[in-house]
A and B are shown apart, each in its own frame.
Chain A
Amino acid sequence: MSELDRRIFLKLGAAAVIGTTLAPGITLFQAFAQDETEGRTSSKDRWGMVIDTNKCTADCTECTAACRTENNVPLFGDPRYDGHWIRKVTVTPKTDGAHSRSLPLLCNHCEHPPCQHVCPVAATFTREDGIVMIDKHRCIGCRYCMIACPYKARTFVFKNTEKWSNPDVPKRGKGVVEKCTFCAHRIDKGQIPSCVEACNKSGEKAMVFGNLNDPNSEIVQYIREHAPKGLREDLGLEPKVFYKGI
């Protein structure tokens, strides 16, 4: 091998090393890897919601109605069979009965979801962007998750729904557990959940939805300013739905 050849060989080798590791954690091959992850949920996102209970009025059910039409959540007229993805509850302090609050309760999309831990068939999973979802193809309907959830956010599908109110979203077959998905199908399209949209439309504007990982997002600014609390934070589940004023 001549001197020139060796020099070129060494240069190429050095270039290859530099090319693969520009800096710790940053490599040129990310450029190729990005093609595979394009059009997928990103782990950079962390979706969350803030609900201002001061603005939420007791007799307003815009969010629950919007959720039912958007996600084909059945309403049979029999409370034993009705599904609930989001429901209005009234909380009354034990010390003072006069100051009760009405607030919507939905899946809190915990960072450490107990429903996922207890699922025997791994039907409940956390998406890359932190949304806790149920793979209904896999769910066997054992209802462990319903017992594990401290927010009572899950309901069992006892009956088949007859019609789709929104054909873009699948119905649920009899015998699986269903719950709020943060309208994942809408988030994938770049929209906000239908309950938040309905709340904004109704003029109450009690709900704020956004990316918790984006420091400039509306929700992060709101949390910085008002410091809303999650429900039962003592459980250490790190819920991503926050409530102001309770």
Chain B
Amino acid sequence: MGGKGAIAIVVALIGLIAAPLLYTAAGNGLFNKPPKPELTLPAGGGKCIEPTEFMRKNHMTLLVHVRDDIVRNGAHKPKYHIEHCKTCHTKRAEFCDKCHNYVGVKPECFDCHYLP
């Protein structure tokens, strides 16, 4: 008895405490990896202003930079503008939300700005 018995009891207790938590987690699908978002190119067949890989990593920097330039300096014709994107990517659900939902990012842009 002694050491072995004590370990067995501790393991049993941990199991007992963890069981309901694991049960709930499994029920909520926390162990399943979410499916990768299926991205479809817009039908227009236009060309992105920068390569796709660059835009994936840096679109937020471009948008913030242009935001300050438009608001503060009154730039009317900036090179990067979400208006350019909107000419091909017409639906926000397809364009923004799919990836943002996948990575769990919630930008507040569209609380105020309109993108259908």
A contact set with B: CB distance below 8 Å = 38-41, 125, 127-129, 133, 135-137, 160, 164, 167-168, 170-173, 184, 188
18 residue pairs of the A-B complex, CB under 8 angstroms, read A40-B74, A40-B75, A40-B76, A41-B73, A41-B74, A128-B73, A128-B74, A129-B74, A137-B71, A160-B111, A164-B114, A167-B114, A170-B113, A171-B111, A171-B112, A172-B112, A173-B108, A188-B76
Q: How far is the CB of B78 from chain A (nearest CB, A)?
A: 8
B contact set with A: CB distance below 8 Å = 67, 71-77, 108, 111-114
Q: 7 closest pairs, A vs B, by CB?
A: A41-B74, A167-B114, A39-B77, A170-B112, A39-B76, A171-B112, A170-B113
Q: Is the CB of A184 within 8 A of B108?
A: no
Question: Which residue from chain A places its CB closest to the CB of B108 in the assembled complex?
Answer: A173
Chain B residues with CB under 8 Å of A128's CB are 73-74
Q: How far is the CB of A127 from chain B (nearest CB, A)?
A: 6
Chain A residues with CB under 8 Å of B67's CB are 137
Tell me the bound Cα distance from A138 to B54 in angstroms.
27
Q: Is the CB of A40 within 8 A of B113?
A: no
Chain B residues with CB under 8 Å of A127's CB are 72, 74
Q: Is the CB of A39 within 8 A of B72?
A: no
Tell me the bound Cα distance from A147 to B40 in angstroms.
51
Q: Is the CB of B74 within 8 A of A170?
A: no
Tell me the bound Cα distance from A12 to B87 in angstroms.
50
Chain A residues with CB under 8 Å of B76's CB are 39-40, 188
Q: Is the CB of A184 within 8 A of B74?
A: yes
Chain B residues with CB under 8 Å of A40's CB are 73-76
Q: How far is the CB of A228 from chain B (nearest CB, A)?
A: 27
Q: How far is the CB of A234 from chain B (nearest CB, A)?
A: 31
Q: Is the CB of A39 within 8 A of B73?
A: no
B75 contacts which of A39, A160, A167, A168 (Cβ < 8 Å)?
A39
